[in-house]
């Protein structure tokens, strides 16, 4: 298991196997802010794409949601090819999720 210095700030290269450790490191009520790059890309034709290109470091559509499924989603954004691809944040997935208390009822049902 990896050990992460807390608080975690700044860019980190994480892989899917690190996600359970990150979730375990959160206190009940704690928030996870996670931003990463996706495989579905736009902007390559005009040189506006950014981020890694190696597929091992890119996530599939909605993969970030699956990796942190035990947490309660507070914010999620992944635009990819939706709408005007010349605007907005592209090639990235962003998540804010919260570790809920064991006794806290699920209000999403």
Find the mean pLDDT for residues 60-79.
92
Q: What is the pLDDT of residues 10-22, one digit of tens each?
A: 555 556 667 888 8
Q: How many domains does the chain have?
A: 1
- Residue 46 inside a domain? The answer is yes
Whether the pLDDT of residue 47 is over 60: the answer is no
- Residue 83 inside a domain? The answer is yes
- Residue 105 inside a domain? The answer is no
Decide: 64 and 34 in contact? Cβ < 8 Å. Answer: yes
For residue 51, what are the domain limits?
30-98
- Residue 75 inside a domain? The answer is yes
- Residue 49 inside a domain? The answer is yes
* Exposed e or buried b per residue across 81-104, where buried means at least 16 C-beta atoms within 10 angstroms of its C-beta: eeeeeeeeebbbbebbbbbbeeee
- Residue 2 inside a domain? The answer is no
Question: What is the spatial distance between Cα 93 and Cα 61, in angstroms, rounded to a whole number?
Answer: 9
């Amino acid at each position: 298991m990896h050990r992460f210095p807390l608080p975690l700030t700044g860019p980190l290269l994480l892989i899917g196997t690190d996600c359970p450790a990150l979730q375990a490191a959160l206190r009940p009520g704690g928030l996870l802010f996670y931003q990463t790059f996706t495989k579905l890309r736009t902007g390559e034709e005009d040189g506006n794409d950014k981020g890694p290109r190696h597929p091992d470091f890119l996530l599939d559509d909605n993969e970030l949601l699956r990796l942190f499924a035990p947490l309660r989603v507070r914010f999620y954004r992944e635009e990819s090819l939706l709408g005007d691809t010349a605007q907005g944040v592209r090639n990235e997935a962003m998540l804010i999720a919260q570790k809920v208390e064991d006794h806290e009822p699920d209000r999403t049902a």
